[in-house]
Amino acid sequence: MLTVLGIRVSPDLLDRWVDWLAPDEQPFFLTPKQANAWKLGTDDREPSREDRDTYWIYAIDRKATRTAWLNEAAYGELPKATRAGLVRAQVDHGRGSVPTVLRWAGVVGHGIRQQADGHRFVWWKSLLGDPKAVLPQIVSDDLGPSRHAEVRTWPRQLPRVRELAGTFADGSGPNCFGTVMAGCGVEGAEHVWMVREPFEEWLAAHTERGGKDDEPGTVLVWRNSAGLVEHAALTIGGGWMFHKPSQSWKSPRKIRTVAEVKRATRTAGWRLERHRVVL
């Protein structure tokens, strides 16, 4: 079985990764002027959560108020100059999944130089005939592996941590807050896009201020300058920590050292606080 970030990936999950990286139709973000110039029809359909994370929809330039949804055939029928401009515009507007030809030509073939401007391209399923050559690299970008296989002693008071550590969620949505709550025994929380309010309610009801990084059951909470919670992780003892870096489908529930999580989460304006779980 394929292993990515130290985690086994089933054939079914790999197939879903292909669909999420290269859906049959993908969004191209445009200004009204660009949409008119390239004669592209647009609509305001609701993207899926996976679309949101694949294409960084939360980071799109506000000037790009139009969205054209294209399949591979429609994209391929556009004049090459239009495709080149369209792909360059995605980079300018902050869209994700617009990789460089330089990085991927040796993996998927030099034909991708002809897709757009010769420097950038977009993913279609036709480029993913060997998904094992592509998806592990994409999922591993900027993420360290889960080190669950190195843990020798798992905390008895947090039995679900061992069950969940070293797993991928079934899609985008499940995030750090739900992961911490699930690790502390809240059934089903690992499947939920847990927003701040219910996490804060759980934190107030089931923890007390304090705790130590080298003991199991300490929830580390990072807050921004406005006091809003931004990230959370759970210590499991022995210098190890359980967390999920983000809500993205590419982000696993994993074990890292406390020092590694602190280093990865260090952000200007954020402050760290500790809460001891009361079981």
DSSP string, 226-277: TS-EEEEEEEEETTEEEE-S-SSTT--BEEEEHHHHHHHH--TT-EEEEEEE
Domain(s) labelled CATH 3.90.1720 in the chain stretch across: 148-277
Task: Work out the percent of the chain whose per-residue pLDDT is above 70.
Answer: 100
CATH of 148-277 among 3.10.28, 1.50.10, 3.90.1720, 2.30.29:
3.90.1720
pTM for the full model? 0.94
| Percent of the chain as helix, strand, coil, to the nearest 5 | 40, 20, 40
Q: 245 with 264: CB under 8 angstroms?
A: yes
Q: How many CB atoms lie within 10 A of CB 113?
A: 14
pLDDT of res. 279: 81
SS3 2: strand
Tens of pLDDT, residues 46-85? 999 999 999 999 999 999 999 999 999 999 999 999 999 9
Residue 2 confidence class, pLDDT cut points 50, 70, 90: very high
